[in-house]
């Protein structure tokens, strides 16, 4: 009997609540657990989208989108007209499209693509989980993803990770979904490869590597390696090259081979160039711990996988567990030995990790009456979160009462008291729910944990981010008042992207090395003053400083990334006037990416 016949013969058992426990349904989107999950995503990731000013890498992505709209060049990402060598342009395209609808690339245009990507990824997680999990466990899978520490930190910001996670996880989960439900081979291969192409356009070759390695090992595990040479698979590969290659060829023709290579490899090469045996060993020791903490409060449940008794209960979910586990292990190993790799690079497989957590949770509920130690893990998880909630309440209230209101970590007293009381109510609720296990309790427990994580992050944590973020936009607006209308304004070397974005007008670049004579028609200018290397860039003429703009991600005691705005002195002005400077030549060229 061939494998298709065996799969068909086993389907009734697969659908039984006594096996994997999930009855696969093509109408999973009608289940109330699914809609609860959607409401949670909307409540966490969308309300405070405009409260925090754009910061960090957000302005880097946004400035590229702004210049795409201004120039009409959607092929080559640029900043201040110069080629931007960091990653392909998918994130910039999405920002620019939303910005075109809104009329400007504002906070919503910058952050909406990421929030929508989290929403779509959550839908994908729930739908895939319903292949082999009950609705409540599928709810846990989606809830675990949206409340993992790193996901909730990055998922609502204009960073690349959320969009990249959507495309990478979609390529993996849609392929296995189609394989399990016996979709048409053309659809099973074509749709995932389209997602791979989008993922490659979002960040790079992680997307095709993760997909090819995971699917390839799975086919070997199933002894179906001949499918790799099938016509539908080849058609999928052609779809990938048609979508990704259409941009890549256009980019190559405009920017050249070297830039085409650097857009993918430049950051990777820098990490290896600066590595040593000690940095590699340190990274290998720290990376697993960082991953564990970045996936809290759910990562503790993964220790259940270490118990042999758990694997005896997996049943026919073994196929899904192998596929999901393989994708996580491949991604982890690819980053574990790369010095400088950070845990956010692992975020594309967090959806797979979240589904494994849903499976673990369901097995704990179903085997809670057994004598196995691991079967009590769900209760321990709930009690751990309850303890964490109490700790957060105490710390928040103590810090608020002890700090001066001018401190950046201070919260409004009324808010701190109300939030602490709210936390105690949630902790008491979890304590009560942990006493007995039922489907209803599992749903309420999950909702309570999600509400705690969501309100904590979008409440006190975002308040803290707001107080710790430099007021770059306001400072730029104030210094613009010092520049007379109609005056030409340039930067000596490429300027920091927060300043360029908030300036709201294109700033031409004067090369500090190749142009010995400053343009005669320019009086006002700006340049970067890197405090780690204060001699890097300085004008080669007499000038007066008009102001400084801090462009760091955080407010620091001694700001590092600062933009200085200056005015060139006329021949009859004294160079000894206050805030005046004599000529000082640049010591070395600026890095190509600032």
Give tens-digit pLDDT for 226-270: 999 999 999 999 999 999 999 999 999 998 888 888 777 766 655
Residue 68 in contact with residue 92, Cβ under 8 Å?
yes
Note the residue count of the chain. 594
Residue 580 in contact with residue 569, Cβ under 8 Å?
yes
Sheet containing 543-550: give its strands across.
509-510, 489-492, 524-530, 561-568, 543-550, 580-581
Please report the pLDDT score of residue 279 as a whole number.
81
Residue 151 in contact with residue 453, Cβ under 8 Å?
no
Query: What is the rounded distance in angstroms from the CA atom of residue 178 to the CA atom of residue 191?
Result: 10
Spell out where 125-199 has E strands: none
Phi, psi of 527 (to 5 degrees): -160, 160
Q: How many CA atoms lie within 13 A of 224 on its CB side?
A: 12
Q: How many CA atoms lie within 13 A of 572 on its CB side?
A: 0
Residue 480 in contact with residue 44, Cβ under 8 Å?
no
What letter does residue 511 receive in the DSSP assignment?
Answer: -
Q: Is the pTM of this model over 0.85?
A: yes
What letter does residue 461 receive in the DSSP assignment?
Answer: I
Residue 565 in contact with residue 549, Cβ under 8 Å?
yes
Please report the pLDDT score of residue 17 as a whole number.
37
For the chain (594 residues), the mean pLDDT of every run of 10, in chain order, is: 44 37 71 94 93 90 94 92 87 96 94 96 96 94 96 93 96 96 95 97 93 96 91 96 95 87 68 67 90 93 89 86 95 88 92 96 82 84 92 89 79 88 92 78 91 91 89 91 89 91 91 65 85 61 87 88 88 65 48 38
Query: Which residue has tokens 């890197």?
Result: 530
Mean residue pLDDT of the chain comes to 86
What letter does residue 369 receive in the DSSP assignment?
Answer: T
Angle between helical axes of 107-129 and 135-147 (0-180°, round to 10)? 150
Please report the pLDDT score of residue 256 as a whole number.
87
The tens digit of pLDDT for each residue in 39-83 reads 999 999 999 999 999 988 899 999 999 999 999 999 999 999 888
Please report the pLDDT score of residue 257 as a whole number.
86
Query: What is the rounded distance in angstroms from the CA atom of residue 59 to the CA atom of residue 552?
Result: 11
Cα–Cα distances (Å) from 105 to 54, 66, 324, in that order, read 11, 6, 37
Residue 478 in contact with residue 548, Cβ under 8 Å?
no
Sign of CA dihedral 501, 502, 507, 510: negative
């Amino acid at each position: 009997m061939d494998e298709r016949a065996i799969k068909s013969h086993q389907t009734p058992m697969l659908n039984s609540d006594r096996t994997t426990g999930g009855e696969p349904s093509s109408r999973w989107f009608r289940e109330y657990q699914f809609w609860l999950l959607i409401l949670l995503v909307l409540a966490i990731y969308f309300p405070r989208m405009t409260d925090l000013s754009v910061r960090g890498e957000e302005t880097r992505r946004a400035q590229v989108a702004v210049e795409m709209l201004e120039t009409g060049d959607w092929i080559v990402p640029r900043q201040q007209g110069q080629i931007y060598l960091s990653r392909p342009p998918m994130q910039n395209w999405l920002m620019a499209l939303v910005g075109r609808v809104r009329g400007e690339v504002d906070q919503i245009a910058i952050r909406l693509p990421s929030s929508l990507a989290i929403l779509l990824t959550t839908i994908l997680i729930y739908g895939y989980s319903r292949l082999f999990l009950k609705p409540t466990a599928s709810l846990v899978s989606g809830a675990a993803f949206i409340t993992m520490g790193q996901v909730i930190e990055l998922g609502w910001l204009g960073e690349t990770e959320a969009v990249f996670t959507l495309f990478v996880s979609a390529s993996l989960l849609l392929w296995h979904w189609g394989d399990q439900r016996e979709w048409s081979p053309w659809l099973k291969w074509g749709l995932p490869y389209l997602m791979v192409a989008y993922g490659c356009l979002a960040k790079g070759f992680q997307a095709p590597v993760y997909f090819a390695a995971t699917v390839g090992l799975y086919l070997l595990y199933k002894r179906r390696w001949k499918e790799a040479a099938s016509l539908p698979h080849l058609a999928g590969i052609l779809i990938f090259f048609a979508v990704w290659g259409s941009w890549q060829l256009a980019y190559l023709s405009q920017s050249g081979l070297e830039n085409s290579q650097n857009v993918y490899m430049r950051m990777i090469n820098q990490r290896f160039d600066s590595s040593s045996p000690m940095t590699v060993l340190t990274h290998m020791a720290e990376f697993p711990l960082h991953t564990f903490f970045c996936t809290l409060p759910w990562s503790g449940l993964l220790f259940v996988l270490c118990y042999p008794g758990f694997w005896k209960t997996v049943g026919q979910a073994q196929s899904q567990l192998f596929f999901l586990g393989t994708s996580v292990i491949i991604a982890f190993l690819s980053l574990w030995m790369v010095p400088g790799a950070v845990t956010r690079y692992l975020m594309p497989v967090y959806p797979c990790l979240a589904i494994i957590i849903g499976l673990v949770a369901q097995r704990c509920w179903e085997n809670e009456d057994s004598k196995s130690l691991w079967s009590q893990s769900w209760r321990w998880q709930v009690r751990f979160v309850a303890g964490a909630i109490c700790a957060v309440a105490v710390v928040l209230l103590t810090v608020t009462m002890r700090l001066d209101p001018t401190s950046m970590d201070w919260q409004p007293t009324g808010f701190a008291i109300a939030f602490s009381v709210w936390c105690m109510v949630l902790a008491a609720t979890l304590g009560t729910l942990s006493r007995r296990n039922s489907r209803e309790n599992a749903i309420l427990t999950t909702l309570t944990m999600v509400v705690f994580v969501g309100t904590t992050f979008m409440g006190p944590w975002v308040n803290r981010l707001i107080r710790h973020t430099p007021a770059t936009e306001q400072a730029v607006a104030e210094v613009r008042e010092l520049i007379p209308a109609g005056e030409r304004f340039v930067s000596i070397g490429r300027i920091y992207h927060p300043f360029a974005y908030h300036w709201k007008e294109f700033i031409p670049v004067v090369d500090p090395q190749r142009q010995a004579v400053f343009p005669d028609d320019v009086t006002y200018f700006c340049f970067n003053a890197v405090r780690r290397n204060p001699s890097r860039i300085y004008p080669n003429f007499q000038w007066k400083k008009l102001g400084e703009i801090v462009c760091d991600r955080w407010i620091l005691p001694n700001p590092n990334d600062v933009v200085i705005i200056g005015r060139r002195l006329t021949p009859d002005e004294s160079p000894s006037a206050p805030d005046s400077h004599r000529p000082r030549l640049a010591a070395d060229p600026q890095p190509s990416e600032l």
